[in-house]
Amino acid sequence: MGPVEVFSIGPRTSLAALAGAACEVQAIGAVHTQGSLGSLREVVENDWQVNEKPEFFCFDQIRQADIPTLAALVAPRLVNFSEPSARAAESLAPLQKVYATFGVTHDPVAR
């Protein structure tokens, strides 16, 4: 049995899927997200509270492993962001360059 593909819907499970794939390079072959945030900065911008969405409040994660960083750690394995907000599409656009460094032509942001 080879690597699995992980599918997630919404910002909460998308963050978990990206973190898992960034850490597990052999078991997870690809990540497909729908409705992911483009950055954990959106948590602050949306004024979400820790009692509402505690999984977004890992100490210092925004500086150490924001969503674009987690997605870059998954490369060259495929990450696809479907239905991204305009903010997410902008934050994740530089990922094309990350894939290019691996010789892979891939736009992870499906518009």
Q: Domains of the chain: which residue ranges?
A: 4-110
The secondary structure of 39-101 as a DSSP string is -THHHHHTT--TTT-GGG--TTHHHHS-HHHHHHHHTTSEEEEES--HHHHHHHTTHHHHHHH
At 17-26, the pLDDT tens digits run 999 999 999 9
pTM value is 0.91
Q: Are 67 and 18 in contact (CB under 8 A)?
A: yes
φ, ψ dihedrals at 32, nearest 5°: -125, 120
Give the number of other Cβ atoms within 10 Å of residue 43's Cβ.
Answer: 19
Q: Are 18 and 71 in contact (CB under 8 A)?
A: yes
**Higher local confidence (pLDDT), 44 or 74:** 74
Mean local confidence (pLDDT), 20-48: 94
* Residue 62 confidence (pLDDT) above 80: no
